[in-house]
Amino acid sequence: MWLLKSILRQFVRNGRLTLIDAEGREHLFGGKKPGPVVTMRLHDPKLHWQLAMNPELVAPEAYMDGTLTFENGATVHEFLRLFSINQDYLSAHPAQTVVNTGYRALRRWHQNNMPGRSKQNAKHHYNVKEDVYRLFLDERMQYSCAYWRDPENETLEDAQLAKLRHIGAKLQLRPGMKVLDIGSGWGGLAIFLAETFDVEVMGVNPATEQLAAARRWAEAKGLSGRVKFVEKDYREIEGEFDRIVSVGMFEHVGYRFYDAYFRKVFSLLKPDGFMVLHSIGRMSPPGITGPFLNKYIFPGGYVPAISEVFAATERNRLWVCDAEVLRLHYGYTIREWYNRFQANRDKAIELMDERFVRMWEFYLAAVELGFVHGSNMVFQLILARQRDAVPIVRDWIEETEKQLRQGSLLVDAAQ
């Protein structure tokens, strides 16, 4: 217990943590600066040393198992808020420096996303029952950052539709164009583009459950002739496309495969074509994926530093024609997801079980706070083979969005 107490004394500077150990003794940490007030109880004496050795993995596992609980009105969200505003103090402790150094040494292995392993990693997360995702996503099943123009007065549905319009506007589509959607999810973006701009879309996704749902949706919409969904890894795609779009998939590529990814993009684009890439990124230097997310949520996943992305586009002769950073938008989005998931908690338990629900509570709260207090953000890049593939000023994006909002977009060759 002495090591855990030493870590917590250094860790909790903002807010207050009351720890009730497995013997029922209370220990108070922090309290000198304002912040969350959390009471946490440990039900297993092994946690006294396990938490000290690897808190970023052991704490969520103990919460999932019910051997770590919260009292006096505290929630896992408040606990993680306490963690997020004090995180720098935790990582500075000598014991955590040793643990983190060892974990970083495994970075290359964690992102060994060869085609077979990459497919299994995708299925690990995205083949969770579709009904679970329907408990907290919008009606179009957009499982990526929304685009908020007025967070206080918009619904999640409003913001996700705005995201589709924003990306659609950036693509500068014309009827008959061929579009590739890498990582097409439940098909919402592909269907939106086909309906709105009269284009042909091929969605590529290795997750079988998502593909089946996307195909049903396209068929119900009468779009099977213009929207095709195929089960492939991005490295297996062949053909030539006017436009490529990828939303929320690049986080699964892994830093070791950025060159392979952008080489494939270059080879698939027509000479005058371009790509819109939407991905979570970090404003800090290159890092690692936390052990909980890597083990339970997104195996093989990695949020890139923007410097890593630009270095890879440079090596693969792609022009960055436009770059936009959405700093707070995902925080707003995941806050809505977390609240909706909590409102449907009992339904989620019926669909899965209590341990799964605790795991997802921890995941959603942790990721939200990574955007509120951490270094995470979202970036959108327009990438092209030729420097003049897009207009020299970005006015066309707002002009097209405005037309889409007004329902007056003229989709013709003169656009």
- Domains: count for the chain: 2
63/211 same-domain check = no
Range of the domain at 53: 2-105
Do 122 and 30 share a structural domain?
Answer: no
Which among 143, 146, 14, 18 has a CA at the least distance from the CA of 72?
Answer: 18
Query: Residue 154 has what pLDDT?
Result: 97
In a shared domain, residues 144 and 89:
no
Q: Does 178 reside within a domain?
A: yes
Residue 167: φ, ψ to 5°: -70, -45
280 and 379 housed in the same domain? yes
pTM of the full predicted structure?
Answer: 0.91
pLDDT recorded at residue 31 = 76
Which of residues 67, 85, 105 is at a domain's end? 105
169 within a domain of the structure (yes/no) = yes
Domain at 270, CATH number: 3.40.50.150
C-alpha–C-alpha distance, residues 293 and 287, integer Å: 14
Which pLDDT belongs to residue 100? 60
Mean pLDDT by runs of 10 across the 415 residues of the chain is: 86 93 95 90 96 92 97 95 83 57 57 66 74 96 97 96 97 97 96 96 93 94 94 94 97 94 98 98 92 90 95 97 97 97 97 96 95 95 97 92 82 40
Same domain, 56 and 171: no
* CA 328 – CA 3 distance, rounded (Å): 36
Residue 312 lies in a domain: yes
Asked if the structure places residue 292 within a domain, the reply is yes
Same domain, 174 and 222: yes
If asked whether residues 76 and 173 sit together in one domain, one would say: no
> Residue 71 sits in a domain of what CATH number?
3.30.1050
Residues 160 and 255 in one domain: yes
Residue 411 lies in a domain: no
Longest dimension (CA), the chain: 75
Query: Sign of torsion, CA 190 193 198 201?
Result: negative
Quick check: is 415 in a domain? no
Domain boundary among 43, 74, 105: 105
